[in-house]
Amino acid sequence: MPEFKPSPVEKGTPLSRPAHLLHDVPLPAAVVFEAPLTHNLAWMQRFADEHGAKLAPHGKTTMAPALFKRQIASGAWGITLATAVQTVAAHAHGIDRVLMVNQLVGRPNMALVADAIEAGLAYCCVVDGADNVRDLGAFFAERGLILNVLIELGVDGGRCGCRTAEQVETLVAAIAEQPALALVGIEGYEGMIAGGDEAASVCAYGKRLVDTVRTLQASGVLQCEAPIVTASGSKWFDLIAEAFDQAALREHYTPVLRPGCYVVHDHKLYAGAMANVKARHPGLEGELQPALEVFAHVQSLPEPGLAIIALGKRDIGHEPDLPLPLRRYPWGTEGEPWFDVSGWRTTHIMDQHVFLALPEDADIAVGDVIAFGTSHPCLTFDKWRRVLCVDASLEVTEVMATHF
């Protein structure tokens, strides 16, 4: 066994600093372009501000505290997360307000959250059932802490959440029996609405959230000054914002929007969703821009019209669409010239390989670099422990750790 033990390189990490993406980084690498990132941060914050809503971006998209900090610096009110471990990771990296939009289940998970609350984290999670309320009440009473909870409203055939007003009433009563729990608002996720006139259903759901929080406020069961009402993924954020805005909640409530994907946007799924937002609001200024790409080498040209790329399911999301080839950088160049290859097509992806169909006379060589876009960013970020910020000339500006 050799004595020498280099630090293991994490894939996509530059070998030197300063670093150029095409010369100093073992590819594949996931990159976020600075300019569209900066644009998106400002665009969505302004959108929330203009609708009188707070922004708590869903952090599960990136799980990159460096991006959380940019979101907070841009004006975000807090970070939304999905699990206790995500919450602890964010808090350990300086995030001091977390909206956890899932039930908190299991004593070790409760213990993690309790420790973070004791250490100063402003936190609330959601509840949708009396058993969980009882378990949380007992655990946090034992710890001598108050846990803030939101009641989750769900939709029939959807995911979690109370389906009916009666279920909400029952849950309110169950929470009232637990001195360690403070009911502070209502939470929902319109992304589960499917079929029929979806836009109309989303608007109706937004109205139901608003009506419910108002009913609860009127009945005096909400234990905070400006109760929270929150919803919105990255597809219908405009309609939820309008539902909250039309209700003129801004003075007496805390309306919170939670899109996550907007921060890097994408090249297809959310690009389409953005087009729909623009169609619904022709006057809306500007739009989100795709910022996330994965760069990889052409590894083999085994048959005419087929390139095998050194990239796979371990490196890039492939749902709902296979990776989208964007640009080709010839081997050994500095980033210029590059060539548009958006007409090429990914036909198959394996753990470590992508199959790219291209014209038989295509100009391509082993060692060339292809930049790929994605359709939905969430399942690309989680393939990487390090994501690189780069500027327009492909110089690395920041190495961002992820904490999945």
Reduced to 3 DSSP states, what percent helix, strand and coil does the chain have, rounded to the nearest 5?
35, 25, 45
Tokens standing for 351?
């753990």
- Does 62 bind its own copies (CB under 8 A)? Our answer is no
- The helix/strand/coil state of 170 is helix
Interactions with its own copies, residue window 35-54 (CB under 8 A)? none
Q: Which of 249, 383, 394, 396 forms a contact with its own copies (CB under 8 A)?
A: 383
- Does 135 bind its own copies (CB under 8 A)? Our answer is yes
Residues 6 or more apart in contact with residue 339 via CB below 8 angstroms: 327, 328, 330, 363
Interactions with its own copies, residue window 188-247 (CB under 8 A)? none
Rounded to the nearest angstrom, the gap between the alpha carbon of residue 141 and the centroid of all alpha carbons in its chain is 32
- Does 300 bind its own copies (CB under 8 A)? Our answer is yes
Distance between CA atoms of residues 129 and 216, nearest Å = 17
Interactions with its own copies, residue window 168-187 (CB under 8 A)? none
- Does 85 bind its own copies (CB under 8 A)? Our answer is yes
Residue 69 or 207 with smaller CB distance to its own copies? 69
- Does 327 bind its own copies (CB under 8 A)? Our answer is no
- Does 71 bind its own copies (CB under 8 A)? Our answer is no
- Does 79 bind its own copies (CB under 8 A)? Our answer is no
- Does 77 bind its own copies (CB under 8 A)? Our answer is no
Distance between CA atoms of residues 205 and 199, nearest Å = 10
Count Cβ neighbours within 10 Å for each residue of 279-316 and write b for 16 or more, e otherwise. eeeeeeeeebbbbbbbbbbbbebeeeeebbbbbbbebb
Beta strands of 15-146 (E only): which ranges? 29-33, 54-55, 79-81, 97-100, 122-127
Q: Which of 34, 96, 198, 211 forms a contact with its own copies (CB under 8 A)?
A: 96
Interactions with its own copies, residue window 136-165 (CB under 8 A)? 154, 156-163
Residue 119 or 248 with smaller CB distance to its own copies? 119
Site string for its own copies, 10-29 (x = CB under 8 A): xxx--x-------xxxxx--
- Does 403 bind its own copies (CB under 8 A)? Our answer is yes
Rounded to the nearest angstrom, the gap between the alpha carbon of residue 392 and the centroid of all alpha carbons in its chain is 24
- Does 6 bind its own copies (CB under 8 A)? Our answer is yes
Kindly state the smallest distance separating residue 4's Cβ from its own copies, in Å.
4
Q: Which stretch binds its own copies (CB under 8 A): 81-89, 176-184, 204-212, 275-283?
A: 81-89
Helix axes 130-142, 107-118, angle to 10 degrees: 50
Residues 6 or more apart in contact with residue 385 via CB below 8 angstroms: 10, 11, 401, 402
* Burial class of 164 by CB neighbour count within 10 A (0 to 12, 13 to 18, 19+): exposed
Query: Terminal CA-to-CA distance of the chain, rounded, Å?
Result: 32
- Does 132 bind its own copies (CB under 8 A)? Our answer is yes
- Does 320 bind its own copies (CB under 8 A)? Our answer is no
Paired strand residues for 63: none
Q: Which of 35, 200, 275, 365 forms a contact with its own copies (CB under 8 A)?
A: 365
Kindly state the smallest distance separating residue 92's Cβ from its own copies, in Å.
4
- Does 273 bind its own copies (CB under 8 A)? Our answer is no
Tokens standing for 161?
């959440």
Q: Which of 297, 373, 374, 400 forms a contact with its own copies (CB under 8 A)?
A: 297
Please choose, from the candidates 31, 3, 11, the residue with its C-alpha nearest in 3D space to the C-alpha of residue 388: 31
Give CA angle at 121 (233, 146), nearest 5°.
100
Kindly state the smallest distance separating residue 278's Cβ from its own copies, in Å.
26
Residue 276 or 300 with smaller CB distance to its own copies? 300
Kindly state the smallest distance separating residue 344's Cβ from its own copies, in Å.
17
Q: Which stretch binds its own copies (CB under 8 A): 39-47, 119-127, 237-245, 278-286?
A: 119-127
Kindly state the smallest distance separating residue 24's Cβ from its own copies, in Å.
6
Interactions with its own copies, residue window 345-364 (CB under 8 A)? 350-353, 355
Kindly state the smallest distance separating residue 279's Cβ from its own copies, in Å.
26
| Parallel/antiparallel/unpaired status of strands 54-55 and 254-257 | parallel
